[in-house]
Amino acid sequence: MGMILNVHDQVDKVINEIERNYSKGLTFTLNELSAVQVVEDMSNFSTFLNMCRSQISNRRVASYVTGSGINAKFRKN
């Protein structure tokens, strides 16, 4: 089991994927994103998920709807 070496860069990739692939009002879960799937087996994955969730909300990319962990559901702003 490896480790995500630069968590911040990977979170940026997730946000870029959301902005590129989802229109305003569409809902999605984190496990639908390829940038999340790539690092799913890494040892610091839970830290990465928490950072993703907070950065997605803080940057106002999407709004949290329901769920937790990889099944967290968001609506694109």
Q: Write down the pLDDT at residue 1.
A: 77
Would the pLDDT of 4 be above 90?
A: yes
Nearest-angstrom CA–CA distance, 75 and 55: 14
Q: Which residues are paired to 76 by β-bridges?
A: 62
> What's the predicted TM-score (pTM) here?
0.92
* Residue from 42, 76, 71 nearest 56 by CA: 76
Average pLDDT, the chain: 95
Q: What percent of the chain is modeled with pLDDT above 90?
A: 97
pLDDT tens for 36-55 read: 999 999 999 999 999 999 99
Domains and CATH numbers, the chain: 7-76 (1.10.10)
